[in-house]
Chains A and B, each alone.
Chain A
Amino acid sequence: DAMVIQNPRYQVTQFGKPVTLSCSQTLNHNVMYWYQQKSSQAPKLLFHYYDKDFNNEADTPDNFQSRRPNTSFCFLDIRSPGLGDAAMYLCATSRPGTGPSYEQYFGPGTRLTVT
């Protein structure tokens, strides 16, 4: 089945220790998104790639960066995690031009704990 895969599902890191979260997709979608979702809150868009074009949200902290080496993979790098960065990180994909403009397919998420 075509899908969005996120690894690891659970990640524990120490305060200030860099961490990388991974997302891969078999949908061949050209847009990939990273969201941060804290408990009982709406998913918050951090940034997205349209093909290789990177689009950062204005309020995304500099501590968060992303890489997309090819169509299938996208990484979220947190350079110096703080306690406030503990959250679920969701990767999503979409293919503009089919269905609603922003029909997005989500992975299961990576739950990040910062100790």
Chain B
Amino acid sequence: QKEVEQDPGPLSVPEGAIVSLNCTYSNSAFQYFMWYRQYSRKGPELLMYTYSSGNKEDGRFTAQVDKSSKYISLFIRDSQPSDSATYLCAITRDKLVFGAGTILRVKS
């Protein structure tokens, strides 16, 4: 079993839709929960991170962590074509452990 599981997609949505991206993890010792965005032919860039269970909002993005279920989510409101990218969840124990990434395509 992989430590972090993420549905690879691709996920295709119309512009303006609400997008939900999800990961599950197996190790309850994980501490920080992060979302990275990776555009084609670029390195990942940190979008958001959170430490505790609950929600954290930043503009159109909301990160949600449910430690009891070992489940993390990223919601994107009013999605834009510029949001088209691969979204990687990443979780820390003694190092970053990445999910495989979900490819998101927002159609205009």
Residues of chain A touching chain B, judged by Cβ–Cβ distance below 8 Å, are 4, 6, 40-43, 45, 48, 90-92, 99-109, 111
A42:B4 contact, CB within 8 angstroms: yes
Beta-carbon contact of A100 and B44 below 8 Å:
no
Contact of A108 with B43 in the complex, beta carbons under 8 Å? yes
Which residues of B lie under 8 Å from residue A109 when comparing CB positions? 41-43
Give the secondary structure class of A's interface: loop
> What CA separation (Å) do A103 and B36 show in the bound complex?
10
Q: A103: nearest residue on chain B (CB-CB)?
A: B46
CB of A101 within 8 A of CB of B92, answer yes
Instruction: Decide: A92 and B92 in contact? CB cutoff 8 A.
Output: no
Is B96's beta carbon under 8 Å from chain A? Answer: yes
Q: How large is the interface on B (under 10, 10 to 19, 20 to 34, 35 or more residues)?
A: 20 to 34
Q: Is A100 a contact of B92 with CB atoms below 8 Å?
A: yes
Given A100-B34, A101-B31, A101-B92, verify A107-B98 contact (CB < 8 Å): no
Does B66 count as interface, using CB distance less than 8 angstroms? no
Closest to B3 in A: A42
Query: For the complex, what is the distance from the CA of A48 to the CA of B8, rounded to whole Å?
Result: 27
B→A interface (CB under 8 Å): 4, 6, 8, 31-32, 34, 36, 41-46, 49, 51, 88, 90, 92, 95-101
Shortest A92–chain B CB gap in Å is 7
Closest to A104 in B: B96
Measured between beta carbons, the chain A residues less than 8 angstroms from B43 are 4, 6, 90-92, 106-109
Closest 9 CB pairs of A and B: A106-B43, A42-B98, A100-B32, A102-B92, A42-B100, A100-B49, A102-B96, A106-B44, A43-B98
Roughly how many angstroms separate A94 CA and B51 CA in the complex, as a whole number?
18
